[in-house]
């Protein structure tokens, strides 16, 4: 495969780790990245180490004391007009980061949208902006909510006409686990249920994983995505404290259900997703497991089980597959296949 130039929208936990992981993936060259206050573009390839340093705590304004403390704890992203991406020597401050990436997109093969989807139509609206600017390439997201998939499917004709290949839900779950369920389902002529149970340990806590944790809290009973969007950081941290730093989720509105249905695996009502988030430890509080139960051609009922190793980090299971699906999307795009693809529609590239 020829080299792939790609951009990352958003340099929170997912965006920064994507840039880091890309250095160990063949044929990938990160050429642009942004957050709300800064944009960095270099078509010869970004200096990822410098950019990561700029988006984390070693650019603190106190001469390095805060930097040393943050780095000792794994690095906490600095935010504000003069911090984050804007603090990189490769970057410029901006009030229009997405537009700046779009302006440079003629030389960008793929864009990973690593932005929180706190309005259900936010990521689809971002995609519209690329289509309206006549971008031709691949857009990838790691969104979680089922209802967003329908919004993207409604735009399939727009993407096809614009020569865009949109890969949706391409992280861990949905993403890696959706693909695993699709493979496990091949043993059966009828799938009765798909049960996904995940465990995530994030010792770095809410501070360094704001979007991910906030979006997960929206799945708790009594909360909505609108509630999570409007809550202050202090209110989010209070919810975490109320649960002792370990939050269990059941029957989440997770896009695996719609993505498996659109791939013809099973009805969305037959998919359940839940899990445990622990922000006090990097150790997983439970083993991430997919169970696919169905009936075989000879009338037997069985369950195929897929498990992720407990020592493999959440970042590895999200960002590795996201970049793999990005590569698979570029293959489809270069072959002239455009529209909306889910993780069960294509396998990630190594």
Domains in the chain: ranges and CATH: 4-171+315-345 (3.40.50.720), 176-310 (no CATH)
Task: Check whether 71 has a pLDDT greater than 50.
Answer: no
- Mean pLDDT, the chain, whole residue set: 88
- Alpha-carbon gap, residue 142 to 211, rounded angstroms: 12
- How high is the pLDDT of residue 298? 95
Average pLDDT over residues 28-43: 96
List, for residues 81-122, the tens digit of each pLDDT value: 667 899 999 999 999 999 999 999 999 999 999 987 777 889
Task: Check whether 56 has a pLDDT greater than 80.
Answer: no
144 is catalytic: yes
Which of the residues 77, 83, 155, 219 is marked catalytic?
A: 219
- How high is the pLDDT of residue 73? 35
- Please list, in sequence order, all residues whose beta carbon lies within 8 angstroms of the beta carbon of residue 209, skipping any fewer than 6 positions away: 12, 13, 202, 279
Task: Check whether 210 has a pLDDT greater than 80.
Answer: no
- How high is the pLDDT of residue 72? 36
Supply 283's token pair: 């150790």
- How high is the pLDDT of residue 276? 96
CB 116 within 8 A of CB 211: yes
Average pLDDT over residues 126-136: 96
Residues shown for the chain? 350
Which of the residues 25, 77, 83, 144 is marked catalytic?
A: 144
- Alpha-carbon gap, residue 29 to 22, rounded angstroms: 7
- How high is the pLDDT of residue 348? 78
Average pLDDT over residues 27-36: 95
- Please list, in sequence order, all residues whose beta carbon lies within 8 angstroms of the beta carbon of residue 212, skipping any fewer than 6 positions away: 12, 13, 14, 202
Average pLDDT over residues 249-264: 93
Mean pLDDT check: name the lowest of 76-80, 123-127, 170-174, 341-345.
76-80
What percent of the chain has pLDDT above 90?
69
Task: Check whether 75 has a pLDDT greater than 60.
Answer: no
CB 123 within 8 A of CB 111: no
- What sections of the chain are H helices per DSSP? 13-22, 48-55, 65-72, 97-103, 122-132, 146-153, 156-162, 176-184, 210-217, 225-230, 233-242, 256-262, 314-334
Predicted TM-score of the model (pTM): 0.88
37 is catalytic: no
Which of the residues 215, 254, 284, 315 is marked catalytic?
A: 215
253 is catalytic: no
């Amino acid at each position: 495969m020829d080299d792939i130039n790609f951009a990352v929208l958003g340099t929170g936990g997912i965006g920064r780790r994507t840039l880091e992981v890309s250095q160990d993936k063949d044929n990938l060259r990160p050429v642009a990245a942004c957050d709300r206050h800064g944009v960095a573009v270099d078509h010869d390839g970004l200096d990822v180490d410098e950019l990561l340093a700029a988006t984390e705590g070693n650019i603190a304004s106190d001469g390095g004391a805060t930097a040393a403390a943050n780095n000792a704890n794994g690095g906490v992203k600095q935010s504000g007009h003069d911090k984050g991406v804007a603090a990189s020597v490769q970057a410029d401050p901006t009030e229009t980061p997405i537009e700046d990436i779009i302006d440079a997109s003629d030389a960008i093969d793929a864009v990973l949208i690593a932005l929180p989807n706190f309005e259900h139509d936010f990521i689809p609206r971002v995609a519209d902006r690329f289509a309206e600017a006549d971008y031709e390439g691949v857009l990838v997201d790691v969104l979680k909510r089922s209802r967003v998939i329908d919004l993207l499917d409604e735009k399939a004709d727009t993407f096809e006409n614009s020569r865009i290949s949109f890969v949706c839900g391409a992280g861990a779950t949905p993403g890696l686990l959706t693909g695993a369920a699709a493979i496990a389902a091949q043993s059966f002529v009828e799938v009765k249920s798909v049960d996904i149970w995940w465990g995530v340990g994030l010792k770095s806590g809410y501070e360094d994983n704001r979007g991910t944790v906030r979006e997960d809290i929206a799945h708790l009973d009594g909360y909505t995505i609108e509630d999570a969007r409007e809550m202050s950081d202090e209110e989010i941290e209070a919810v975490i404290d109320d649960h002792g730093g370990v939050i269990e989720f059941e029957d989440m509105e997770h896009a695996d259900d719609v993505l498996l249905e659109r791939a013809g695996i099973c009805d969305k009502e037959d998919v359940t997703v839940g899990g445990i988030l622990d922000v006090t430890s990097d150790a997983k509080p439970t083993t991430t497991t997919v169970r696919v139960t169905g009936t075989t051609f000879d009338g037997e009922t069985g369950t195929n089980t897929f498990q992720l190793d407990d020592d493999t980090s959440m970042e590895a299971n999200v960002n590795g597959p996201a970049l793999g699906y990005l590569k698979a999307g570029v293959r489809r795009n270069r072959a002239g296949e455009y529209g909306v693809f889910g993780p069960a529609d294509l396998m990630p590239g190594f």
